[in-house]
Chain A
């Protein structure tokens, strides 16, 4: 069994006393070096979970334990060193006037010496492939490039957990693929737990485990393949099912039975070939 890095125990949250509950009695664990995807439609409470993990919000009921520390007013600063976050809007999280200033911002806050900063800026920028842009101003970068810088600035403080809160939602398809491949590369190289929060089922394919949120509650928790098999229910709770899944479904209905639930085009193609070679 891997070590637990984040524990949610019966967490409930609402934004005000008169407001409806955004999260109701949510419990789950995140393990070390795991890739967990949290998926849900708008208002399902998934972004609230991200903010709770970082001490940007505190739960009204239940407790959250991060790497053995309970999240409260005293522990937030050390927790924010362990949990890094990339937000949705690429522009509104870029603090520095140039790429390297932005990567330095988080380190400056933590009082890291200058020589160390320069070293880490080089390392993290080359990890996300933005080395040659280190002196560029933000308005000359594309959305995808800005998000890669945001990932680099989180990596610079060597956190234990990296949360991407809809980090690809405002990007074009090219930017999206860039970020997803950067992220999986980064996770391979560093000992990171990765939590991707999204409403796009395409992005859960690479994850090890998926939590589906619906109306502030955990609706399901399984590996991606099992989740994809429940396409009808997913559609009912307002999630878009990927084209490959729909296609496989239609093929099944037409009498072409593919053994495994395909996650992407390659798997579907392979399934079809297997079927073809058997008949």
Chain B
């Protein structure tokens, strides 16, 4: 099994963005997703783009990882651009192609909407590229903490997430082992019609499920033996702390928002 396997998209690093509190990152991205829709002219778009691109450069995540994150949405970005180009009939005609007239309004609208998509994807993938899944889990546990008052099982949810993350590589290794074992018994996973291949998955899934249940039972027993009795009175080793850098980033983001609302058209 591949030993350099990394869960999710996380790219290890030690940049300012990497070291930010995960709660800061989640909060900023949450609001960024909203304010992207308020940008409506060149200056306001530029402010947001500068903010997104500078965070990208500060993170020092290699461009190819960012492009990899964008691949599934390239089609969407291009499609919306073309759609706007064809459908919007505002402004002056700048190109005439027999049946179709392309308007400047359509071109601008197309660029703007595609840009919006691009910024959204870029910022959200900045979160997953610079934050380990377990940090995100911790942040979610902390941010959902108020929901405990309404009996929402916040701690249990976070523990479930962190145990799932811990067992993903283990179960992947096991899947690999089982598929090799079944292949050696003549199960064919790679050729044949789709129906046959789907059937071939059954002898892979059944042992995997059986062993996953057995693991769960043993894990529960081991956790109990180690004194686990729910979230009450538990302390935590991993600590989240708001540092000066977090406040600085919040301030910068506030400036960007202020700039956006000052420059956008009303």
Contact = CB atoms under 8 A, between A and B. Distances in A.
B219 A109 contact: no
A77 interface: yes
Nearest to B163: A95
Most buried by A among B1, B5, B219, B222: B222
B235 A117 contact: yes
Interface in B214-229: 214-215, 218-219, 221-229
A109 B227 contact: yes
Contacts of B226: 80, 84-85, 95, 105-106, 109, 153-154, 157
Nearest to A78: B227
A109 B235 CA distance: 7
Interface in A94-139: 94-97, 100-101, 104-114, 117-118, 121, 137-139
A80 B225 contact: yes
A85 B225 contact: yes
A31 B136 CA distance: 47
**Interface size range on B against A:** 20 to 34
Given A97-B162, A140-B3, A107 B223 contact: no
A167 to B, nearest CB: 12
A93 B218 contact: yes
A89 B239 CA distance: 30
Nearest to B133: A97
Contact of A96 (B166, B169, B170, B227): B166
A19 interface: no
A2 B163 CA distance: 42
A60 B238 CA distance: 42
A93 B5 CA distance: 22
B169 A139 contact: yes
B223 A95 contact: yes
Given A80-B226, A106-B227, A140-B3, A97 B165 contact: yes
B233 interface: yes
B173 A92 contact: no
A176 interface: no
**Interface size range on A against B:** 35 or more
B170 A139 contact: yes
B222 A87 contact: yes
Contact of A92 (B5, B218, B234): B218
A141 to B, nearest CB: 11
A93 B219 contact: yes
B198 interface: no
Nearest to B214: A92
A109 B239 CA distance: 16
Interface string A33-70: 00000000000000000000010100000000000000
Contacts of B5: 139
B224 A56 contact: yes
Contact of A89 (B3, B173, B218, B224): B218
B237 interface: yes
B134 interface: yes
B148 interface: no
Contacts of A110: 227
B172 to A, nearest CB: 8
A114 B236 contact: yes
Given A77-B229, A85-B225, A93-B222, A108 B234 contact: yes
A93 B221 CA distance: 8
Contacts of B238: 101
Which 8 residue pairs are nearest across A and B when measured between Cβ atoms?
A93-B222, A104-B237, A92-B218, A139-B169, A109-B227, A106-B226, A111-B233, A85-B225
Given A77-B227, A101-B238, A106-B227, 13 more contacts: A56-B224, A77-B229, A80-B226, A85-B225, A87-B222, A92-B215, A97-B134, A100-B237, A106-B226, A113-B235, A121-B237, A139-B169, A157-B227
12 contacts: A56-B221, A80-B225, A80-B227, A85-B222, A92-B219, A92-B222, A93-B222, A100-B237, A111-B234, A114-B235, A139-B1, A139-B5
Interface of A: 54, 56, 77, 80-81, 84-85, 87, 89, 91-97, 100-101, 104-114, 117-118, 121, 137-140, 153-154, 157
